[in-house]
Structure 1
Amino acid sequence: MYVLAINGSPRKGGNTEAMLNKVLEPLKDNGWETEFYQLGGKKIRGCMACMKCWENKDNQCVVDNDKFNEVYEKMVRADAVVIGSPTYFADVSAEIKALIDRAGLVALANDRQFAGKIGAAVVAVRRGGATHVFDTINHLYQINGMIIPGATYWNMGYGMNKGEVLEDVEGMANMLNLGQSIDWLGKAIKPHMDSFPRVQYLHGEG
């Protein structure tokens, strides 16, 4: 099984990175193929609402001069996707917002490609606003029919400077438990993923 961890923080070696790596630890130990993808700080533009993905239905975005199609291809292949973001003005980083808007739409346009996959959100925060970041990422998962695992608390860790989140004992323990939950859930649902109901998304109706 394959898990993709996407880092939306542009800060190399930062708190979001440390938390995502902690989530991946038990998955590596239990035989998963793991990949850490650095999106923060890379070129990815927002959705233009051109709706070409609904016309073409070719599993990609027509804007191909940035990192989107590369990371989207990995998301489609993954059994589990863990998106991590720092808290910027009580919301996700610009790179993660662009990813959510585009990946969510392209997946819906192409037979709900994320349906039945596992999706988890991880949030680094200095003090406040993390719950809204957590919700923003989970909204991508919910509208796409993904399965969100629980842990011991909301998946957030506290720290400002690089490495400070490692001192958040409860937060890091939660990351470890999240990885364990993903492992258990993935093995439980893997035999049934092909039969997951892919209800048609009624775009533009209602």
Structure 2
Amino acid sequence: MKVLMINGSPDVKGCIHTAFVEASQIFAKEGIETEEIIIGPKDIRGCIACNHCKSAGKCIFNDLVNETAAKLEEADGIILGSPVYYGNPNGTLLSFMQRLFYSTTADLHMKVGASVVSCRRGGNSATFESLNQFFGISGMPIAPSSYWNDVHGYSSEDVYRDEEGLQTIHNLATNMSFMIKALHNQEKPQMKKEKYTDFIR
């Protein structure tokens, strides 16, 4: 069993990485492997709506999006992590996720999702909600915790002083481990996708 941890922070050793390290320790105790994928400092362009992926099975821009797409099939869970930028996720992460989720051929149904946000003070709830939108539309259950999954501070050292934030991350990893194990090798419910509302017709 494996969880992909997608880090949208340009600070590769910053607050999101620290939260992921803490979560990874819990996953390791539960026998679940983790891999952190760094997005924040990369040059990732947005989707151009060319629909190349629908015929080719991958995005027309052959970058980290396609590399990550190949790993989605084997993953049992995905955690998205972002600092708050004006009450929103990092723009690079959003471009990456929009292209990844639209172009992938992986079956994401019943893979477990979660989001982690870092902020100095505010904007965390809006950022958290924005990231979670990727999961519901993909048929992915969202792992809960004891609070919203956010840590506070400017640096990794600040995160370690946010004891409640760390507790929240630990509880998230514990709950996510439980859900992944419960769903592992289970027959997934059948999804119907024949209907498409067309108001023009």
Q: Normalising by structure 1, report the TM-score.
A: 0.90
Unpaired runs of 5+ residues, structure 1, are none
Deviates more, 1:146-155 or 1:91-100: 91-100
Q: Which amino acid aligns with 1:115?
A: H
Change (3 A) 1:201 1:177: farther
* 1:139 lines up with 2:153 in the alignment: no
Q: 2:192 aligned to 173, 185, 199, which one?
A: 199
- Give ranges in structure 2 of 5+ residues lacking alignment: none
Q: Please say if 1:130 is aligned against 2:124.
A: yes
* Offset at residue 53 of structure 1 (A): 1.9
- CA RMSD after TM alignment: 1.8
1:153 and 1:184, CA in 2 relative to 1: closer, same or farther beyond 3 A? same
Match of 2:111 among 99, 106, 117: 117
Shift of 1:202: 5.6
1:61 has 2:56 as partner? no
More displaced stretch, 117-126 vs 183-192: 183-192
1:70 to 67, 71, 80: 67
- Tell me how far apart the structure 1 counterparts of residues 128 and 172 of structure 2 sit (CA, whole Å): 14
Equivalences for residues 1-206 of structure 1 within 5 A = 1-56=1-56, 58=57, 60-64=58-62, 66-107=63-104, 110=105, 113-192=107-186, 194-200=187-193, 205=198
Q: How many residues align?
A: 199
* Structure 1 residues 145 and 201: CA distance shift in structure 2, 3 A: farther
| TM-score in terms of structure 2 length | 0.92
The DSSP-based 3-state class of the residue aligned with 2:55 is: helix
- For 1:201 and 1:174, how far apart are their aligned partners in 2? 39
